[in-house]
A and B are shown apart, each in its own frame.
Chain A
Amino acid sequence: MIELKNIEKYYSSKGIKHYVLRHVTTTIKQGEFVSIMGPSGSGKSTLLNILGMLEEPTYGTFEFLGEDVTSLNERKRIELYRNHIGFVFQAYHLIDEMTVYENIEAPLLYKKVGSSERASRIANLLDKFNIVAKKDLFPNQLSGGQQQLVGIARALATQPSIILADEPTGNLQSAQAEEIMQLFQKLNKEEGITIIQVTHSEKNATYGNRILNIQDGVIKEDSPTQAPQMGGVV
């Protein structure tokens, strides 16, 4: 579903190009659970942002669902956000002025989902993530792990085909992190949602089925995970 060809990204300052990504060429298929790893500053976030169309590569082509999306206008990009892509952030980025319920509802409103459909989907998600009791609370009344659950519920509300997560457990304790990772794995296996996450933790990476290792902007290694629990691609 994702096809990157020779992606390059550099920032130029004082006439010197500082490369962040070089010759990145890879394919990610529907239903894969990919973990991007690498040292700090190696370009992981940049790559994920490009995948999320938040940044444009300086060179190369990017195809999403068979369509060239290297540079898109706002309308098309937002169409993709509404229908295909869900984001999960390290800092959760819930909207502080909205309740849990409203946060999950927001993307559905943008997508113009009907109100009864909306209500049932949200109820479903709240139920699934065990946060029904929290639905009228504001983000600052939740723990970090709970906030991240809401963040994931929000990303899932529009039933996207892919989730992009930049260090989703970076701010969490290991128990909570584990819970999130299991959730991801479940979503990937049972619902066939493609997941691409950036992570620093070897352990987290094992929940996925493929690891991209980046160093200095170059993909150094692209390998399936050795985990015994790995199942087949759905």
Chain B
Amino acid sequence: MFKLNLKIAWRNLWKNKVYAAINIGGLALGLTAFVLMLLYINHEESYDTWSPDLKNVYQIREKHDFFTPDNKEHWNEISNSRIANLIRTKLPQAFAVTKVDNDWDFSSVYSLKIDNANPVVINKIKDSDSSFFHVFPYHFLQGSADKALENKNTIVLKESLAIKLFGTTKVLGKTVNVVRWRSDKGSPLTITGIVADPKTPQSLSFNAITRTGDKDKDPENPTNNNYCFLYAKLNKLSDTLVINQTLQKLYIDLKKNLLGGQKQRYNDLYKDGKLPGLKLIPIETVHSTPPYKMNWFEKLKPVIAISAFLLLISVINFINLATAQSVQRAKEVGVKKVLGCYKRQLTWQFLIESALQSIISLFLCIILIEVVLPAFNSQFNVDLSFWHNAQLLTMIAQLAGLFVLVTLLAGLYPAWVLSNYNPVSVLKGNYENVLRGIALRNVLVVFQFVISVTFIISIGIMQMQSRFMSNKDLGFERGNLINIKSNYEDNFAERLKKIPGIEYVATTTQVMGNTFNVPEEVKYKGNSINLNTVTVTMDALPALGVKVIQGRIFSKEFKQDTVNTVVLNEAAANLFGKNIIGQTYGKVDWEGKTNIFQIVGIIKNYHNEGFDKSVLPTVYKVTSLGGTSNTNNLLVRFNTSQYKDLINKIEKQWKVLYPNFPMEYTSLDDVFSKSLEDNDRFMNMIILFSIVSVSLSLLGLFALSTFVAKRRTKEIAVRKVLGASNIQIVNLLNKSFLILVIVANLISWPIAYIIIKKWLDGFAYRIDMPVFPFFIATLISIIIAVLTVSIQARKAAVTNPVNALKYE
């Protein structure tokens, strides 16, 4: 029976090739999008799951406001290094504790020199202490976890790095010279271990772990603090709830101690319900709970929704086409019923047919995934693989689940409709009351078009917003400007200034790509104003090419500029009021002394972060009065766009001064494109998904109209015999679909409006909601729907009525 059903299913598919192809192909596309999402989610969820021993590994998080982007208190990943010792000595449940370098955005690469070879730049080399491999259960290919970091000046490489550097893992005892910044002498470290690369990603990823000795001790002065990552391994079966309570108590004691045992100062610091905080979190949760950032799931939510919709569209096609096809199958149902077939058996038969199609789609989908995965990987900057996947079994189980779900979703309703046919009416040749599910089919078509139209509107508006962003005046000249990853050093700067073609060499703490916000509070005419402070050199503002609105910018001619003058941006100036050039304001420094600053100019706001953030009210100063900062920016402005040769010249000078550290630079043009990258990526994906979803909907409509035209062949023939023209027939068929498309448009307008509004609200600089894309989307959807249906309708209309009447 089963075999026969399968055979019939196959013959049916074959008979309706086009319909089956649309069904299967559409479903395969929908599945592909969904499975890609699954792969990605699995990948994200697999963080820090590479060893069962990680169950007992925890990250320590401290609540503080140092280095936070908004200067407010957060649970931070970097903690006071003293906490390691606190846990080691006071918490018996802790088996081992280790301190590890955190990543700084602007100094993440080290230069590695082996023997006399050219230095190689390697990122993610982290300094730690002797306990690193006691906490993290890495598998040693060479050396051992116990011995590797026993001594200072040692380094443990990941297998991949060892292969990259030496071509082999048999490198124990060799020496590498690690240069950590350009003028660092470098420290020779002995390789004492090689660890295998884990199968799943790690939140604390590294290429090599060093023990230089820096992490062995904490600063002696209690007011000096080091911040770094802290990890602990607890004994099995430790209750983290209890431990976190203990930790909190220990931490308060430590805080009081550090504040010199003065109860008063402690109470001063922690008033108004503010409490010091310290806790452990399991390492598997680290990746999904980044401090002050959206976690991957939040970011992925829209994409998940979109791919689910895509799958839904293809399932809807499936249902619609299957029920539309039911007229053809009605007779079979009727006959089988009088031959002694149970309804249940029929339901099964039709489910098997759906299953057959979904299994073919699934195979197609696996092939498709193999094809698109490379593109997907480069888009999302991941390294996913279907077959070489640590969770292949999970994946297969998920696919099996998906297969069952899709089969049921797509097949259950048609199977139910079909198996419910009443044999008498069918066998009488009366199909009219067989045409059940028309209402549902209409609802589903509307639903599909709502999704598609919403997509089209969204693309339109997103495109407009991104055109707006890429054409927006940044407030500075981003062309012919590069930023070398280096601090300003007179010797180097002077050498560069001598090169013809170089206009300015300067530094600033605020430039697109590397912005460091230092908040301060100033007093102006009795009011407090909160500003962001940026330290620049004399040439920085002209180097950036900012526009002066009022007054002047810094210049060597004015001696006072190195003493106490400042330039404000528009946003800051607005906080001060009118006529402020020449006015002064005061700022209390950390010793309690008030410094007076004079405002000499106002510049146009310039952008240094993405368009999602508004430009902060900022004060620019050259003077070191009130403190300075330095953040590894060296701006070089050329007076020509052909600056490739000039860069070679700069590199030559660099090699003279810093032979052991390669020069790194970015052009501001690249930085700007990179700032748009996330958005572009998101948009490209939306566009891709929209195209797929619109084409799926249209294919569905195409197939559906085929069936409707077929069903109405006789009616059409009769009408033609009665004198209807072809056009009238085409219109007749179009009318029913057109109403659906218009209804869908009406529904999708408010939906698209709400979604897009939310998206636009994420940008500080955005376009006004345009109405144009709404009309365009409606127009497009109507035109293509009419075209699609007309192709079929025309075919039905021009056939000779005699043929139809003869055979019915």
Contacts and interface: CB of A to CB of B under 8 A. Distances in A.
Contact of A54 (B11, B338, B339): B338
Contact of A81 (B7, B8, B331, B338): B338
Interface in B1-40: 1, 4, 7-8, 11-12, 15
Interface string B419-434: 0000110011100000
Contacts of A154: 339
Interface of B is mostly: helix
A225 interface: no
Contacts of B1: 109-110
B342 A93 contact: no
B500 interface: no
B4 A102 contact: yes
Interface string A84-111: 0001010101111110001001110111
Nearest to B335: A93
Contact of B427 (A89, A107, A158): A89
A99 to B, nearest CB: 10
Contact of B341 (A49, A87, A94, A110): A110
B332 interface: yes
Interface string B334-345: 111111111101
Contacts of A55: 424
Contact of A106 (B12, B334, B336, B427): B336
Interface of A, secondary structure class, is helix
B349 to A, nearest CB: 11
Contact of B340 (A49, A54, A93, A111): A111
A101 to B, nearest CB: 11
A172 B800 CA distance: 26
Nearest to A106: B339
A7 to B, nearest CB: 16
A52 interface: yes
A97 B343 contact: no
Interface residues of B, number: 25
B340 A110 contact: yes
Given A54-B338, A81-B340, A98 B423 contact: no
Contacts of B340: 78-79, 81-82, 107, 110-111, 158
Nearest to B426: A93
A74 interface: yes
A85 to B, nearest CB: 8
B160 to A, nearest CB: 57
Contacts of B334: 93
Contact of A87 (B7, B8, B338): B338
Contacts of B336: 95, 106, 110
A97 B338 contact: no
Contact of B332 (A89, A96, A102, A105): A96
A134 B7 CA distance: 19
A154 B339 CA distance: 9
B336 to A, nearest CB: 7
Interface in A30-68: 45, 49, 52, 54-55
A110 B343 CA distance: 12
A154 B343 CA distance: 20
Contacts of B4: 98, 102, 105-106, 109
Interface in B663-704: none
A74 B424 contact: no
B118 to A, nearest CB: 73
Given A54-B423, A93-B427, A98 B338 contact: no
A80 B152 CA distance: 91
A74 B337 CA distance: 10
B429 A98 contact: no
B341 A97 contact: no
Nearest to B342: A78
Contacts of B427: 54, 89, 91, 93
Which one of B332, B334, B345 has the highest number of Cβ atoms from chain A below 10 Å of its Cβ?
A: B332
Given A49-B424, A54-B423, A107 B339 contact: yes
A110 B8 contact: no
A140 to B, nearest CB: 11
A89 B429 CA distance: 11
Contacts of A93: 331, 334-335, 427
Contacts of B423: 54
Interface centre among B15, B334, B339, B429 (most CB of A within 10 A): B339
Given A49-B424, A102-B4, A97 B342 contact: no
Contacts of A105: 4
Contact of A97 (B12, B337, B339, B424): B12
Nearest to A102: B4
Contacts of A89: 427
A75 B337 CA distance: 11
Interface string B342-379: 11010000000000000000000000000000000000
9 contacts: A54-B427, A81-B338, A82-B340, A93-B334, A95-B332, A95-B336, A97-B12, A106-B339, A111-B340
Interface of A: 45, 49, 52, 54-55, 74-75, 78-79, 81-82, 87, 89, 91, 93-98, 102, 105-107, 109-111, 154, 158
